[in-house]
Amino acid sequence: MDIIQIQIIIIACLVSIVSVIPGIFLILRGVALMSDAISHAILLGIVVMFLIVQKLESPLLIIGACGAGVLTVACIEMLISIRCLKKDAAIGIVFPLFFSVGVILVSRYARNVHLDTDMILLGEIAFAPFNKLVINDIDLGPYAIWLLGIILLINLSFLICFYKELSITTFDPDFAYVLGFSPTLVYYLLMTMTSITTVGAFDVVGSIVVVALMITPAATAYLLTNCLSHMIYLSIIFAIMSAIIGYGFAYLIDVSIAGAIATITGIIFLIALLFAPEKGVISSLLNHRKKRFMIAKDLIGIYLLKNKKTSMQQLCEIYNWSIEFVKKLLDEMKHMHLIKQKNNFLYLTDRGIDYSRAILLTLKRRN
């Protein structure tokens, strides 16, 4: 592995980590689509600022992009606050408008500069190591590493300094207001951090991959834990895994690195979706089957409490259950000493009577 490949992996890991930190709180606040809106709408801020300063290297472009990101959030919140639109509809209206105006300005006034929409959407991380930061003829290495390193410090500082405020305003805004925190201020600080992250990362990997890295690792971690600190650690681990495995996958089959990283984030999410202990698909199916089994067992107990005795065939006819299902139920109830069998008829044991009466009493209290 040569130095260029190592630098690409470092850049990919940095992009993944800086993207996932704001993404965690976007997921928890239910505004994941806001990252997509900001990643597209900042194009307008970049283009407007470029038309003013006429320099692609100017740091004012970053300020313009951040301003466009915050303006996007403000416009969306304004549409929601006047109760004329729901959140998803407001996002769907604002960011296409901003992005479209940006594309028109690029096509009309910046056609001959390196600001094409394909680069903005898809990016190309393979070229990032060749864009060097040079000061006084001293080569300080890839510009992307320095830029993303600074953004990482900003994001980590924000997370550490405002962890309590972020946590309380995310889970209970009313309680945060009572404690003296401003949920609105924290929200706009979070959106400013999201804008800065998006601006720094999208030039390296493109806005589509930024959205994937911002949302998918955090969503994967959300499936595995309900603890915020654990979710942060898991999200960063999944983001780094996606970057490293994605690069290896792209190198192996010679495809886009950014696309491969986004694909790996999706694959890791699907694995978690299937096998997550509590929120996974397989776990949900097993829990559903277990609940069905428990409800069926309670029904048999209540039926026997009222009718004294029954048979396996009668249970199949009454509840339209298969004979195999009833056999499993009765074996379980016999194992728990809830029923006994005599001359092909089933009766409740003393323990079964107490169990069924408790179930019946619970149901009456609920009603």
Least confident of 106-115, 295-304, 335-344: 106-115
Average pLDDT, stretch 115-137? 72
3-state secondary structure of 112: coil
| pTM score, whole prediction | 0.78
Q: Would you say residue 239 has pLDDT above 80?
A: yes
pLDDT value of position 78: 82
pLDDT value of position 112: 64
How far is the C-alpha of 337 from the C-alpha of 40, rounded, in Å?
64
Q: What is the largest CA-CA distance in the chain?
A: 99
Average pLDDT, stretch 51-63? 77
Q: Would you say residue 114 has pLDDT above 70?
A: no
Q: Which residue has 């029923």 as its token pair?
A: 339
How far is the C-alpha of 111 from the C-alpha of 97, rounded, in Å?
20
pLDDT tier, 237 (very low <50, low <70, confident <90, very high otherwise)? very high
* 170-195 confidence digits (pLDDT tens): 888 888 888 887 888 888 888 888 88
pLDDT value of position 220: 93
Measure the CA dihedral 128/12/94/182, to 10°.
-120
Q: Would you say residue 204 has pLDDT above 80?
A: no
Q: Would you say residue 117 has pLDDT above 70?
A: no
Instruction: Name, of 79-93, 112-126, 238-252, the range with top average pLDDT.
Output: 238-252
* 216-230 confidence digits (pLDDT tens): 999 999 999 989 999
Average pLDDT, stretch 120-133? 74
What's the DSSP call for residue 127? Answer: G
